[in-house]
Structure 1
Amino acid sequence: MANLSDVACRLSCKVWFWCMFLVAIAGGEDVFLEWHVALDTTIKPIISVNKPVITINGLFPGPLLNSTTNDIVHVNVFNHLDEPLLMTWNGIQQRLNSWQDGVSGTNCPIQPGQNWTYDFKMKDQIGSFFYFPSTNFQKAAGGFGPIRINNRIVIRVPFPKPEDEFDLLIGDWYNQSYKEVRSQLGSSSGQHNSPTWILINGKGPFGNPLTVAHESFTASPGKTYRFRISNVGTTFSLNFRIQNHKLLLVETEGSYTDQILLDSLDVHVGQSYSVLVTMDQNVADYYIVASPKLVDETNQASLVAVAVLHYNGSNTPPNGPLPIGLDPFDILSSMHQAKQIRWNLTAGAARPNSQGSFNISKATISQNFNLHGGLAAEFNGILGYTVNNVSYLTPDTPLKLADYALNGSGVYSLDKYPANYTFPLTVKGTFVVSGIHKAYAEIVFVNNHEAIDSWHLDGFGFWAVGYGNGSWTPQSRTEYNIINPVVRSTVQVYPKGWTAVYAYLDNPGMWNLRSQILEYWYLGQELYIRVYDPDPNPAKERPPPENLLYCGKVHTLPSVFSVPAPPPLSFQLTPPAPERDSAATPNPQKSGTTTLHIHRFLLLVGLLMAL
């Protein structure tokens, strides 16, 4: 019989091994990035358009931010522009850490010639997202790029591993520079030209004589590929399709969806999706198309983006008519498609338990926000957009900083403008409302515009429970899907219609709720939700970072909170020449891919060998 002490020793060793294994797979790696953000006048997607492009490390679009659940990302951003800069991370929830959100209400901007490091964790998230500059209308000039959060190895992905993955950033593009458009928006009329082009990965449409270069994706016959699609544009909802190929929808903004087969997919401003595409056609080249909703594309060929899907071995260029998507003016069909996008209740995502274990049908709603987006009158000679007739006034001091150092005094008044009441007259004000910590909120977005609107909430994913036409009433709740609504962070609102979402406000901080239509956002269609947890435990909400930037009314924190502020690093505004990995492909999306550390893998191998 084995000696009891030997048995106990072996048992304790096995327990120790499994404890170490769980620690190894649960944590994340550190991902270090250095980004130089600059204007480039040599990159021209369209021959006839002479305007500067915002690049990151010389790339347009910017490099891929590739990560895994629970990785800690450190992005040192050097501002080579001639004006302040902030970067935001669309859909990254910044758990307990709104200090890193990168919008005007949370951060002081990075001044020209200076740098600042964002430090944030991909806490309990997977999926497809993107980043972009959040202030000064700079997104209209570029500065955006894709984000991937990959599953940990212990979490099963609910579809076979694809042969490869492609990032597709689709979006509209102005003929004018972003400063010219910004100046026009600052006039009393606010009138400006609409975007003229649709780009795919920063490139113009295939076959157009004004296109400098078109985008192309190479695939092998019989293989399946994952396309991660994000609408990084400013204005237009876009319909996406691939000639003669079906799109199998599998994920949106961090949620695995019920898998539905589509001929085309509507991707609204700020939204991200993953689709699987199988190369099941004859060896040839095929059109990839993105075109705007509510636009007659037959008279505006430049508003139809065209890329190429190239089969290995093909010598046949794309031919025939471009594939036809949903009728761009058929709102009911688009809404029907939106209602078909549902949460996969049996799949795991960032955690081993299934998504469906979080049962929204049993939620008790504690708050109701009814938000009307619309056009306001002039304010000091400038046109403004509104939420509930309040056009947002951006203070010099970020709300989060003022909240922490001044209790908001002199910067904003909490709940001065209720989130369920429309003022009879339009006003300009700093719109901040209270969110009840760890409570469910119902948010109803009402679109008073003639165009499709798109709303985004930082800090959370929300359940998209309902879409409808006309006015929202309490009776509209009978139309909600509370069985398997998809969780996402950006949702469309159709013209003269409404969209309802449920949000669980478990993430304390100061969170931006905004229109993703850049013109609306820039001119005031936004507000902030302050979710407050009185517990000072840093495990509940992280304290200010050590490299905190100060501005406005706050030049230091109270001594009790003493946070050292290291001097900023100054440098010349001319960025260094972009460095490319010698093994990188010409695809700029691949050039910025982060190589993750393998310490955890080596640890597991060592543990196995020890046993």
Structure 2
Amino acid sequence: MASLVWALLLVTLMFPALVQSMVRHYNFSVVMTNFTKLCSTKSIVTVNGKFPGPTLYAREGDNVLVRVTNHVQYNVTIHWHGVRQLRTGWYDGPAYVTQCPIQPGQNYLYNFTLTGQRGTLLWHAHISWLRATIHGAIVILPKKGVSYPFPKPDKEKTIVLGEWWKADVEAVINQATQTGLAPNVSDAHTINGHPGPVPNCTSHGFTLHVESGKTYLLRIVNAAVNDELFFKIAGHNLTIVEVDASYTKPFKTDTIFIGPGQTTNALLTADKAIGKYLITISPFMDTVVAVNNVTGFAFLRYKGTVAFSPTTLTNVPAINATAVTNAFQDNLRSLNSKIYPANVPETVDHSLLFAMAVGANPCATCVNGTRVVAGLNNISFVLPSTAILQAHYYNISGVFTDDFPATPPIPYNYTGNLTTANVGTLNGTRVYRVAYNSTVQVVLQGTTLIAPENHPTHLHGFNFFAVGKGLGNFDPNKDPQNFNLVDPVERNTIGVPTAGWTAIRFRADNPVHTTWGLKMAFVVGNGKGPKESLIPPPTDLPKC
């Protein structure tokens, strides 16, 4: 299953008149809601009774206040995926890392400023699998009076992609934990909450309404728990202008490739004949790992289309269409203009190699006597009972150790024939410390242990530059010679190729922010003075 590697994530809201540096107030009520999908009704956890949840609107520079009230039986947190929590790590949201969860009947006020960012991001629950139904889009408009660096669209449309399970998602993950096996794959893919027609079920699906001659900015969010997806609109090309709230050099494509947690902004010109056109989302998986292979459907409908008009169809990419994913990713480049430069670190203070693997540890109560686990550098991350950030701030001992290895303790042929390799991992809550404003290069090395696959990887609190990627084992002498240090794409989430590697660079300028992914954590030290230091914890910070 192509699980996202989380770099360890009832009010009607009106869009107010926009001025610079406003304070945006939102109320999120986490409630149980009955929804009918796939010809059955079930109760799901939502925000404000909506699936997907409400879109959060703001401008670059705005202060955002979101009070989250928990009315369900589960612990809850909300992660603002991709928001740079500069000095405000208390509000990032990962449970037991930057905060304790919001317990039933309690509430918490998230308070952060959108600094140096504009575009589209994602918010979602960041505890267990609640993010399957607790998620929505973040739309960050440019500052008042600042134009887009591309032709102004006539209208903007937000499209949230997701997954749907017929079963309760908490039961799905609990069953997997008890059996030691991988969780069941989802039953459908959704577009703005609708699966479209699927086998043995009639669903009308989502409809994107357009007018001939107009240009639309599509803000596409992949809120899926696991699946990397292809997005297509029959007969139409799309011009990519931004990913993960970072502008890109524009390029045209008929297929968007988007991983869990990633966002893509694309211009769509309604320049085809009046009628209906099929929209599809379908999964990517280039190995034998189980994945939900059901295609999700929606419709683009031109104004003036007569009833019962035939729908123009499109072919979806093959599930293992690696060439399509590579072509899309290779075309992504930072805009790198005078206004929006690509400040890529040219030298690095910390050069790290993280071997990403799926392993198996002993489990006396599991079906096969083992439990499938994930690990980086042979360590499976263990969530503590006290949030790591609180333990660091208050110098609480015994919560974590700072001995996460910079490289695999025992190097091996990561992408070779590993049928005889030791697939067990060590368990621990370990972090890697870096100084404020230091530069970091991380080579994320995929392996062929048990389940080789493409691993989408997210880094909390920072954007990074994807400076290189390749197949096989990373060569520290030869591969850096081909790094792109001029205009690499800037992202917060990136895929690591199956049996390959991806190299990223970032500057650790977010003080004492804790991040983690496939079982590891960074702790960034304070800089000089209050402007380079973490703010004190809020008085309403949830307790464990």
- Please report the TM-score for the alignment, with normalisation by the length of structure 1: 0.78
- 1:126 matched to 2:114? The reply is no
Residues 533, 393 of structure 1: CA spacing in aligned structure 2 closer, same or farther, 3 A cutoff?
same
Name the amino acid aligned to 1:469.
L
Contact kept, 8 Å, 2:283 with 2:292, in 1: the verdict is no
Q: How much has 1:158 moved relative to structure 2?
A: 1.1
Contact kept, 8 Å, 1:289 with 1:307, in 2: the verdict is yes
Residues 302, 493 of structure 1: CA spacing in aligned structure 2 closer, same or farther, 3 A cutoff?
closer
CA distance, structure 2, for counterparts of residue 450 and residue 211 of structure 1: 36
Q: How much has 1:539 moved relative to structure 2?
A: 5.5
User: What is the aligned partner in structure 1 of residue 356 from structure 2?
Assistant: 373
Q: How much has 1:393 moved relative to structure 2?
A: 0.5
Q: Would you say how many aligned residue pairs link Structure 1 and Structure 2?
A: 502
Percentage of pairs with the same residue: 28
Name the amino acid aligned to 2:99.
N
- 1:385 matched to 2:385? The reply is no
Name the amino acid aligned to 1:454.
P
Contact kept, 8 Å, 2:511 with 2:527, in 1: the verdict is no
CA distance, structure 2, for counterparts of residue 433 and residue 441 of structure 1: 11
- Shifted more, 106-115 versus 416-425: the winner is 416-425
User: What is the aligned partner in structure 2 of residue 402 from structure 1?
Assistant: 391
- 1:68 is aligned, of 59, 68, 80, to 59
Residues 434, 295 of structure 1: CA spacing in aligned structure 2 closer, same or farther, 3 A cutoff?
closer
**How do 1:12-31 residues align onto structure 2 when only pairs under 5 Å count?**
28-31=21-24
**How do 1:12-411 residues align onto structure 2 when only pairs under 5 Å count?**
28-40=21-33, 42-48=34-40, 50-104=41-95, 105-140=97-132, 142-206=133-197, 210-294=201-285, 303-315=294-306, 317=308, 319=310, 322-346=313-337, 353-356=338-341, 358-360=342-344, 363-378=346-361, 380-381=363-364, 382-405=371-394, 407-411=395-399
- 2:499 is aligned, of 484, 496, 512, to 496
Which secondary structure does the structure 2 equivalent of 1:157 belong to?
coil
CA distance, structure 2, for counterparts of residue 236 and residue 498 of structure 1: 19
Q: How much has 1:543 moved relative to structure 2?
A: 1.6
CA distance, structure 2, for counterparts of residue 244 and residue 444 of structure 1: 38
Residues 305, 69 of structure 1: CA spacing in aligned structure 2 closer, same or farther, 3 A cutoff?
same
Q: How much has 1:547 moved relative to structure 2?
A: 2.0
CA deviation string 1:281-324 (max 9, x = no partner): 0111111111001289xxx9971111011111111656467312
CA deviation string 1:546-581 (max 9, x = no partner): 322233xxxxxxxxxxxxxxxxxxxxxxxxxxxxxx
User: What is the aligned partner in structure 1 of residue 534 from structure 2?
Assistant: 541
Which secondary structure does the structure 2 equivalent of 1:526 belong to?
coil
Contact kept, 8 Å, 1:399 with 1:510, in 2: the verdict is no
Residues 380, 209 of structure 1: CA spacing in aligned structure 2 closer, same or farther, 3 A cutoff?
closer
User: What is the aligned partner in structure 2 of residue 15 from structure 1?
Assistant: none
Name the amino acid aligned to 2:427.
K
CA distance, structure 1, for counterparts of residue 102 and residue 499 of structure 2: 38
Quote the RMSD (CA, aligned, Å).
Answer: 2.3
- 1:442 matched to 2:433? The reply is no
- Shifted more, 227-236 versus 377-386: the winner is 377-386
**How do 1:478-493 residues align onto structure 2 when only pairs under 5 Å count?**
478-493=481-496
User: What is the aligned partner in structure 2 of residue 591 from structure 1?
Assistant: none
CA deviation string 1:87-146 (max 9, x = no partner): 101101111111110012000110001111111111111111111111022113x01001
CA deviation string 1:4-43 (max 9, x = no partner): xxxxxxxxxxxxxxxxxxxxx9951011111111122x21
Residues 369, 317 of structure 1: CA spacing in aligned structure 2 closer, same or farther, 3 A cutoff?
farther
CA distance, structure 1, for counterparts of residue 258 and residue 101 of structure 2: 30
Query: Where in structure 1 are there 5+ consecutive unaligned residues?
Result: 1-24, 347-352, 515-524, 552-611
* Structure with higher strand content: 2
Q: How much has 1:336 moved relative to structure 2?
A: 2.9
CA distance, structure 2, for counterparts of residue 533 and residue 445 of structure 1: 26
**How do 1:464-475 residues align onto structure 2 when only pairs under 5 Å count?**
464-474=466-476, 475=478
Name the amino acid aligned to 1:480.
F
- Shifted more, 319-328 versus 306-315: the winner is 319-328
Contact kept, 8 Å, 2:262 with 2:493, in 1: the verdict is yes
Which secondary structure does the structure 1 equivalent of 2:441 belong to?
strand
User: What is the aligned partner in structure 1 of residue 509 from structure 2?
Assistant: 506
CA distance, structure 2, for counterparts of residue 397 and residue 135 of structure 1: 14
Contact kept, 8 Å, 1:188 with 1:378, in 2: the verdict is no
CA distance, structure 2, for counterparts of residue 295 and residue 124 of structure 1: 36
Contact kept, 8 Å, 1:434 with 1:531, in 2: the verdict is yes
Q: How much has 1:208 moved relative to structure 2?
A: 5.8
Q: How much has 1:359 moved relative to structure 2?
A: 4.1
CA distance, structure 2, for counterparts of residue 208 and residue 283 of structure 1: 29
Contact kept, 8 Å, 2:20 with 2:144, in 1: the verdict is no
User: What is the aligned partner in structure 1 of residue 456 from structure 2?
Assistant: 454
CA distance, structure 2, for counterparts of residue 304 and residue 422 of structure 1: 42
- Shifted more, 245-254 versus 26-35: the winner is 26-35
- Please report the TM-score for the alignment, with normalisation by the length of structure 2: 0.88
Q: How much has 1:167 moved relative to structure 2?
A: 1.0
Residues 372, 52 of structure 1: CA spacing in aligned structure 2 closer, same or farther, 3 A cutoff?
farther
CA distance, structure 1, for counterparts of residue 346 and residue 204 of structure 2: 51
Name the amino acid aligned to 1:465.
V
Contact kept, 8 Å, 2:161 with 2:192, in 1: the verdict is yes
Contact kept, 8 Å, 1:512 with 1:526, in 2: the verdict is no
Q: How much has 1:373 moved relative to structure 2?
A: 1.5
Q: How much has 1:431 moved relative to structure 2?
A: 2.2
Which secondary structure does the structure 1 equivalent of 2:389 belong to?
helix
Which secondary structure does the structure 1 equivalent of 2:123 belong to?
strand
CA distance, structure 1, for counterparts of residue 409 and residue 313 of structure 2: 45
Contact kept, 8 Å, 1:87 with 1:132, in 2: the verdict is yes
CA deviation string 1:15-72 (max 9, x = no partner): xxxxxxxxxx9951011111111122x2122114x54322111111100100000111
Query: Where in structure 2 are there 5+ consecutive unaligned residues?
Result: 1-17, 365-370, 411-421
- 1:421 is aligned, of 408, 413, 416, to 408
CA distance, structure 1, for counterparts of residue 238 and residue 70 of structure 2: 39
